Structure 1
Amino acid sequence: MARKIGSRYTANQILGRGSAGTVWLGEGPEGPVAVKLLREDLASDQELVGRFVQERTALLGLEHPNIVSVRDLVVDGNDLALVMDLVRGTDLRTRLDRERRLAPEAAVAIVADIADGLAAAHAAGVVHRDVKPENVLLDMQGPLGPGGAHPALLTDFGVAKLIDSPRRTRATKIIGTPDYLAPEIVEGLPPRAAVDIYALATVLYELLAGFTPFGGGHPGAVLRRHVTETVVPLPGIPEELWALLVQCLAKAPASRLRASELAARLREQLPLLAGMPPLDVDEPDTEQEDVEPEEAPVAAPARGERVRRGAVPLVPGAKPADSNRDTHTSMRVPAPDELAGGARGTARAPRAAGAPRPGSARHRAATRRRRLTLGAAAVVLVAAVGVGTWAATSGDDSGANSPDTKNSAPASP
């Protein structure tokens, strides 16, 4: 059902929903547009509306081929909407859901595009703060790039910053998606441009592996891994590409590359990745220790259902996002002792393809077979040692008890 947005735009059809609002296919004076209509509770927050108005110039000033441009900001009654360029395509999450992982050449080409967009935004003093596959759009009408990748554009610039106001978060909450949060955000430090680099490197890891480097399990465990754990290597990618990933996933923000440097370095890797198939690794298992003790158990997913990570509140009783297209999640900032203590049970090493999951029936059967094989080998070894000892002992005993005709003395008469 169509609805008017301000005096200049008409929203005709819902394209998607997220925790921050709804995206509509709309029509404006200059043709088709995308209209992101924020939730009513956000639109009724006068402080938030004021922040959007203050940021209007910055939002409208971001112009780059790899950024979805904001054309207008509409504040009308209970409506607060961002009018954006319409990208005819899909988001990167949808492609990942379909393919699970991408060939390295296509993955690197997409991430290089987004790094170019981030470089332009950072030069203008704008930090995205919520880089993830849901916020990357693929232009299906654009020219194909390396590996058959469609041009990639980053959307939702400024939304995380505007929603994450001091009054809304009271300095005790984190706004973001757990899998992509930089360690400094988890520790309560103000987000700088380096948080976008960390998140983008996490996206690249996910495109290559099919899972994020620190995700899985309870969000508290995910946040802890970001702070305490090092990324586990992915087998099968060039050392130069892995070195880039490690540098951009560094715990210290100053150690990470700038967006322009990352884009250039990634494009240098493209010739080395031509024709390389997607990696063949399986997602690591999440141990039961990842569950926070105060949280109620979550119902197990149905057989064959994919578990989606992301919008899960850390505060007991808080409501999660209303859609799998989550944009922002409110989470409690972990205390220092929680972050310091938590490496136990959170190591996540990728398994070789086809290897049994620890704890699975195949894994237990393989363990039993190994134990039986080792046990049988031990029995054979013990038996062999026993036979050898018996033979040696028998030989000694027979020599002592039988007469030696060559060396024995003649019997006395």
Structure 2
Amino acid sequence: MTTAPVDPMLGRLIDGRYQVRSRIARGGMATVYLATDLRLERRVAIKIMHGHLADDNTFKTRFVQEARSAARLAHPNVVNVFDQGQDADMAYLVMEYLPGITLRDLLKDYQRLTPEQTVDIMDAVLAGLAAAHKAGIVHRDLKPENVLLADDGRIKLGDFGLARAASANTATGQALLGTIAYLSPELVTRGVADARSDIYAVGIMMYEMLTGEQPYVGEAPMQIAYQHANDQVPTPSSKFSGVPPELDELVLWATARDPEQRPADARAMLDRLREVEGAVRGVAGPVPELYQPTMVLADATATAETRVLQPPSAPVPTAVADPEQQGEESAALTARAARRKRKGYWLFALVLLLAGLAGGTGWYFGAGPGSLAAVPKAAGLEPAAAQALLEDAGFEVEQGERYDPEIAAGLVSGTDPGPGAQARRGSVVTMLVSLGPRILEVPDVIGQPQADARAALGEFAVADDVVQQFSGEIDAGAVIALLDGDGNALPADYPERGAITLVVSLGAVPDVTGMSIGEAEATLSEVNLELVQGDPQFSDDVDVDVVISAEAQNDPMRPGDSVLVIVSKGPDLVEVPNVITGQTVAEARAQLEALDFTVTSNVPEFLEGAVVAAKQSVAAGDRIKRGSEISVNF
């Protein structure tokens, strides 16, 4: 029995911040994982591009484009993008995590949806898409897999991996980007997409939701593409009779083969959807009896004759009536008229009340306290100023706290919901006051290779540039010390995201002792050290111009510092003078000792001043080592 391979990403810490927990989904371009943002202590979805695409600049560009496109949107029906970056050769994208299912999962479970469910979902999809179109972004890959249905009821549009800034005719660069079942005719035939291409995909999705199947099927993708380019999408009611005609018309409008015949953008289609929503839901109740018009029906036996249906309460006049009977009937008619009049007043008052409630509700949710408003940006403000700003925007404010490595303690770090998010006026916005950065224990990385040290210090801001230093104890490439932002030794505890500079070993200073002066200078120059030559010294053991000693001039030694070098002058030789001609032994002794020679003689000391030297053991003119012994005898 074989076991499935373990995903190497599980448990990995990405960029020193995101801890991968489990895999959510895998696509052709990237894999999505559930992760924990250790800095903000929240769950996120992290999308990691497949490793085999890392060297493909086209895929890399498209991957980064998704982050930039989605980051430009701030809408309740668009998945939020929090961060984007690269860890080694791995590109990643951090998004809002929405536990739930996709529209594709829903269709698999239920085959097709009711018109009311379709309207609910399409309202959210078109609202998010309208925000993208307003920002000049064409999604280009709309399909049920990219519509997220959260467990809490939120509906969001995601995966802007193929999104691109819109122009009059935005070329795709490839004829068939996106999923073939949802491609518009102009994408198939000309490889050109704009906002109306997204509308076509929305129409195909509506058809699929209402009927449980796609309009075009085939054994090969090109068969499906051919049908998109040459056929008109049928009405959903031709497949399922329960589809309202208003939704038939909307699908036909969205999937017109000619882009000019479609809605100009998602906002236009959304407005039309909301116009027909009441008819789809059947919320228009019966008209009150008082205001029902008189019905005029063609007589069954005459083509031109008509007859008027009388109200049930109207009396049928008789041919003959006595005055008493007429009086009773008149009183009854008067009473019925009064009742109808009172009923009319009540119905009129009810209509006015309902109209007032509708208007008040519309005002409340359109411009009043219940309307949506964008949460203003409050980060970096004093709490009092931020609270006033939020209250002026119509929100109630609660205060919270959180650590923030960038915002100083005591200032507002942010809000929940975040800036730009749409929220109801009168709803509560939490104002988060910064506690400053967390104070963390600095890991012991002394002696570790530079790459390992950087990984261990992931919660700090480690500078790209390092300080290089020579060390005879730490191997080259390993960390010698850590410096804070001011260049001082780093303490044991340090703020999160605090600036750290690594001091990295270059190995020991080269030993140039025993080298010629030229070799020593070249060796030190290779490691960016300067040779400074001191006064030469005599040496009996070291040849002339060979280095006797080398001494570092700084502690610690860094590139650009100097090394003091002493070279040999060779042995110290002195020329022996003639000391036996006309001199006493005492005079000869004095002359030789003045030259640092050691003098011996066979003449007693008390006679040296009287006896003339007869001979010397080293001939005059010879060069011998200073301090050598010379005998002066009689």
Corresponding residue for residue 250 of structure 1: 256
Query: Which residue does 2:534 correspond to in 1?
Result: none
Counterpart of 1:274 in structure 2 is 281
**Structure with the higher fraction of residues in strand conformation:** 2
State the match for 2:44 in structure 1: 33
- Within a 5 Å distance, the mapping from 1:87-236 to structure 2 comes to 87-142=98-153, 151-157=154-160, 159-161=161-163, 171=173, 173-235=175-237, 236=241
Mapped partners of 1:170, 1:68: distance in 2? 23
TM-aligned CA deviation for residue 41 of structure 1: 2.4
Q: Is the 8 A contact 1:35 1:83 kept in 2?
A: yes
Q: 1:36 to 1:172 in 2, by over 3 A?
A: closer
Give the alignment partner of residue 66 of structure 1, picking from 63, 67, 77: 77
Q: Structure 1 54/271 Cα, relative in aligned 2: closer, same or farther at 3 Å? A: closer
- Runs (4+) of structure 1 exceeding 6 A deviation are none
Q: Which amino acid aligns with 2:260?
A: A
TM-score by length of 2: 0.39
Partners of 1:66 and 1:153 within 8 A in 2: yes
| Deviation (angstroms), 1:79 | 1.2
How many residue pairs get aligned? The number is: 261
* Alpha-carbon distance in 2 for matches of 1:155, 1:170: 19
After TM superposition, give the deviation of residue 161 of structure 1 in Å: 4.2
CA distance in 1, matches of 2:272, 2:172: 39
Q: Is the 1:5–1:79 contact (alpha carbons within 8 Å) kept by the matching residues of 2?
A: no
1:239 to 240, 245, 253: 245
- Check the 8 A contact 1:109/1:267 in 2, yes or no: no
Letter in 1 for 2:117: A
Q: What SS does structure 2 have at the residue aligned with 1:131?
A: coil
How far, CA to CA, are the matches of 2:162 and 2:68 in structure 1? 17
Instruction: Quote the Cα distance in structure 2 between the aligned partners of 1:274 and 1:51.
Output: 41
More helix by share: 1
Kindly indicate whether the alpha-carbon contact (under 8 Å) linking 1:131 and 1:200 is maintained by their aligned counterparts in 2: yes
Structure 1 residue 7, shift from structure 2 partner: 2.4
Q: TM-score, normalised by structure 1?
A: 0.59
Please list, as runs of the form range in 1=range in 2, the aligned pairs for 1:332-351 lying within 5 A after superposition.
none
Q: Distance in 1 between matches of 2:73 and 2:270?
A: 18
Shift in alpha-carbon separation, 1:57–1:177, aligned structure 2, 3 A: closer
Aligned to 2:219, the other structure's residue is in SS state coil
Q: Distance in 1 between matches of 2:185 and 2:64?
A: 30
Q: CA deviation at 1:195?
A: 1.0
Q: What secondary structure is seen at the aligned counterpart in 1 of 2:260?
A: helix
For 1:136 and 1:187, the matched residues in 2 are separated by 26
Residue 109 of structure 1 contacts residue 266 of structure 1 at CA under 8 Å; is this kept in 2?
no
Cα distance in 1, alignment partners of residues 144 and 172 from structure 2: 28
Q: Please name the residue that 1:259 is paired with.
A: 266
Give the 5 Å matches for 1:363-382.
Answer: none
Alpha-carbon distance between aligned partners in 1 of 2:43 and 2:11, rounded to the nearest angstrom:
14
Output the CA distance in 2 between the equivalents of 1:53 and 1:232.
38
Deviation at 1:116, TM superposition (A): 0.6
Q: Aligned with 2:46: secondary structure?
A: strand
Moved more, 264-273 or 187-196: 264-273
Provide the rounded CA distance (Å) in 2 between the counterparts of 1:17 and 1:98. Answer: 20
- The Cα offsets for residues 207-258 of structure 1, whole Å up to 9 and x where unpaired, read as 0001111234321110000011112222232222211110110111122112
Matching residue's letter, 2:91: L
Contact 1:68 1:85 in 2 (8 A): yes
Checking the alignment, whether the CA contact within 8 Å between 2:112 and 2:210 is kept in structure 1 is yes
Secondary structure at the aligned position of 1:32 is classed as strand
Kindly state the Cα deviation for residue 12 of structure 1 after the two structures are TM-superposed: 0.9
Identity of aligned residues (%): 38
Question: C-alpha distance in 2, partners of 1:182/1:92?
Answer: 20
Please, which of 60, 69, 85 is the counterpart of residue 49 of structure 1?
60
The answer (yes or no) to whether the contact 2:175–2:191 under 8 Å persists in 1 is no
> Partners of 1:185 and 1:107 in 2: how far apart?
26
Match for residue 317 of structure 2?
Answer: none
Distance in 2 (CA, whole Å) between partners of 1:106 and 1:191 is: 29
Structure 2 distance, partners of 1:203, 1:191, is: 18
Between the aligned partners of 1:247 and 1:125, the Cα distance in structure 2 is: 22
Contact 1:247/1:255, CA 8 A, preserved across alignment: yes
Q: Is the 8 A contact 2:126 2:270 kept in 1?
A: yes
Residues 60, 70 of structure 1: 8 Å contact kept: yes
Give the counterpart letter for 1:14 in structure 2: R
Q: What per-residue deviation string (whole Å, max 9, x for no partner) do you get for residues 60-86 of structure 1?
A: 221111100111112122211111001
CA radius of gyration, larger in: 2
Supply the AA of the counterpart residue of 2:269. Answer: L
Task: Answer 1 or 2: higher relative contact order, Cα 8 Å, separation at least 6.
Answer: 1
Assess if the C-alpha contact under 8 Å between 1:109 and 1:270 holds in 2: no
Q: Is the Cα contact below 8 Å between 1:184 and 1:190 reproduced in 2? A: yes
User: Which string of whole-angstrom CA distances, capped at 9 and with x for unpartnered residues, describes residues 267-308 of structure 1?
Assistant: 2333333389xxxxxxxxxxxxxxxxxxxxxxxxxxxxxxxx
Is 1:4 equivalent to 2:13 in the alignment?
Answer: yes
After superposition, the Cα gap between the structure-2 partners of 1:77 and 1:104, relative to the gap in structure 1 and judged at 3 Å, is same
